[in-house]
């Protein structure tokens, strides 16, 4: 981890459980605000993790969200047991979605989750194995005295 550790923890994510969708990101947002981190960075973290959380709930069987906050960065790793992503470059294109129709009717599946995550991160990484699952890593830098700009 980069910098001096301030706080870390994890959340369980259950695939298909839309009643809990967003709970983990919302709690993480509260934790980050409580640590006194700049609200612009908290907002970016909340958006990126919310999208990642929704991807797990929409596509995967289960997942974990691990967060680690230091004085230099917010790092969130979301890894899931799910179908995996066969073509990551394709998945990163805005509008590309593999979500079924019923998910679209719930307001998701527009195909901008992964691009949204990247847009709100300073460093962003996606790894995936088809048939096993996907891991997404989101890093947002905390700069002394002023808000970091999105990467």
Interface residues toward other proteins, by CB under 8 A: 18-19, 21-23, 25-26, 29, 43, 46-47, 50-51, 54, 94-95, 97, 101, 104-108, 110-113, 116, 119
CB of 46 to other proteins, least distance (A): 5
Q: How far apart are CA 151 and CA 146, in angstroms?
A: 15
CB of 38 to other proteins, least distance (A): 14
CB of 109 to other proteins, least distance (A): 8
CB of 61 to other proteins, least distance (A): 20
Given the complex with other proteins, which of 17 and 71 has the nearer CB atom? 17
**Terminal CA-to-CA distance of the chain, rounded, Å?**
19
Q: How far apart are CA 127 and CA 82, in angstroms?
A: 12
CB of 2 to other proteins, least distance (A): 25
Q: How far apart are CA 4 and CA 87, in angstroms?
A: 36
Given the complex with other proteins, which of 77 and 112 has the nearer CB atom? 112
Q: How far apart are CA 55 and CA 30, in angstroms?
A: 21
Given the complex with other proteins, which of 35 and 112 has the nearer CB atom? 112
Given the complex with other proteins, which of 19 and 146 has the nearer CB atom? 19
Please list the helix, strand and coil fractions of the chain in percent, rounded to the nearest 5, in that order. Answer: 35, 30, 35
Which of 54, 76, 56 is closest to 140 using CA atoms? 76
Q: Which run of H or E residues covers position 48? A: helix 39-59
Given the complex with other proteins, which of 13 and 21 has the nearer CB atom? 21
């Amino acid at each position: 981890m980069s910098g001096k550790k301030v706080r870390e923890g994890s959340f369980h994510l259950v695939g298909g459980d839309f009643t809990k969708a967003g709970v983990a990101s919302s709690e993480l947002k509260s934790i980050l605000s409580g640590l006194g981190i700049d609200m612009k960075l908290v907002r970016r973290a909340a958006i990126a993790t919310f999208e990642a959380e929704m991807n797990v709930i929409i596509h995967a069987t289960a997942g974990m969200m691990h967060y680690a906050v230091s004085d230099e960065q917010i790092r969130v790793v979301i890894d899931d047991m799910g179908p995996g992503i066969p073509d990551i470059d394709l998945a990163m294109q805005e509008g590309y979605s593999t979500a079924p129709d019923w998910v679209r009717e719930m307001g998701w599946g527009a195909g901008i989750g992964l691009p949204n995550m990247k847009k709100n991160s300073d460093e962003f990484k996606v790894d995936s194995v088809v048939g096993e699952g996907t891991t997404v890593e989101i890093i947002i830098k905390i700069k002394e005295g002023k808000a970091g700009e999105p990467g």
